[in-house]
């Protein structure tokens, strides 16, 4: 019996391990992260839920899993255009070395630097000038992803929670849905414009939800005990 296949706008749970030049640089699997010395105790290692075709992941995965069967693992070879893009020469900038020295930073090739809030990598230092590459570190690289398409998500609440994590980047929140009315309880106030745009997207991707409200969690005052 043929298994269900992935379609655009499906919510799908996937696991993956990514390599560049044969070296693992990203994975959703904790054991693989430890085995390849990229484990980060602050990271969350578990399957992720994405909405296919909504740019939740790089294009190579987004388009690569369409038409694939669930409960199977696929090897996707991804070119730079469908990964992190080609190298853009305009992203190479010449910066006075004195600017770094004033910040007590001695630039050297390979050093990661933050220039006006943008991260880059020092490529060369010569004659009082430093060349910094602001391209993504994986720009221009061919990538290999091993992707396990675990299941297609049909639960409305799971879909909503996935969009909250993907679009708003929230980790701590709770959601509830009753008769098509959804309520998301958050710790911090969400900007009204962001809330409006988010609600539009939710209704488009999860038509079962007719109304969406945000509610800020009530902060409990901590009583100070005098000794």
On whether both 10 and 78 belong to a single domain, the answer is: yes
Residues 102, 51, single domain; the answer is no
pLDDT at 1: 66
In a 3-state reduction of DSSP, which class is residue 113?
strand
Contact 124, 94 (CB under 8 A): no
Task: State the pTM of this model.
Answer: 0.83
pLDDT tens figures, 159-184:
999 999 999 988 889 999 999 999 99
Look-up of token digits 């996707």: 76
pLDDT at 227 over 70: no
The residue range of the domain holding 34 is 1-85+138-154
pLDDT the model gives residue 189? 87
How far is the C-alpha of 172 from the C-alpha of 213, rounded, in Å? 16
Residue 143 has pLDDT above 90, yes or no: yes
Residues 127 and 182 in one domain: no
Q: Are 77 and 15 in a shared domain?
A: yes
Closest CA to 147 of 53, 64, 80, 84: 64
Strand partners, 174: 185
Domain containing 120 — which CATH number?
A: 2.40.10.330
115 and 62 within one domain = no
Q: Residue 202 and residue 174: Cα distance in Å, rounded?
A: 16
Residues 6+ apart with CB under 8 A from 139: 80, 84, 85, 86, 87, 88, 91
69 with 149, same domain?
yes
- 60 and 7, same structural domain? yes
Q: How many domains does the chain fold into?
A: 3
pLDDT in tens, 40-57: 998 899 999 999 999 999
Nearest partner of 14 among 43, 57, 59, judged by Cα: 57
If asked whether residues 114 and 164 sit together in one domain, one would say no
Average pLDDT over residues 84-113: 94
């Amino acid at each position: 019996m043929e298994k269900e296949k992935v379609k655009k706008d499906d919510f799908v749970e996937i696991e993956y391990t990514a390599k560049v030049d044969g070296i693992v640089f990203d994975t959703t699997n904790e054991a693989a992260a430890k085995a390849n010395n990229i484990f980060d105790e602050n990271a969350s290692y578990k399957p992720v839920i994405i909405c296919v075709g909504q740019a939740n992941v790089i294009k190579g995965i987004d388009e690569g899993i369409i038409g694939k069967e669930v409960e199977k693992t696929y090897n996707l070879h991804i070119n730079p255009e469908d990964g992190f893009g080609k190298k853009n020469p305009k992203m190479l900038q010449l910066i006075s070395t004195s600017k770094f020295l004033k910040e007590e930073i001695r630039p050297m090739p390979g050093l990661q630097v933050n220039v006006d809030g943008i991260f880059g990598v020092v490529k060369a230092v010569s004659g009082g000038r430093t060349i910094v590459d602001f391209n993504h570190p994986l720009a221009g690289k061919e990538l290999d992803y091993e992707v396990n398409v675990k299941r297609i998500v049909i639960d409305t609440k799971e879909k909503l929670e996935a969009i909250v994590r993907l679009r708003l980047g929230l980790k701590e929140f709770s959601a509830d849905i009753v008769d098509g009315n959804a309520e998301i309880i958050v710790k911090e106030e969400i900007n009204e414009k962001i809330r409006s745009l988010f609600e539009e997207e939710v209704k488009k991707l999860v038509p079962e939800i007719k109304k969406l409200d945000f509610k800020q969690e009530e902060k409990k005052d901590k009583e100070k005990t005098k000794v």
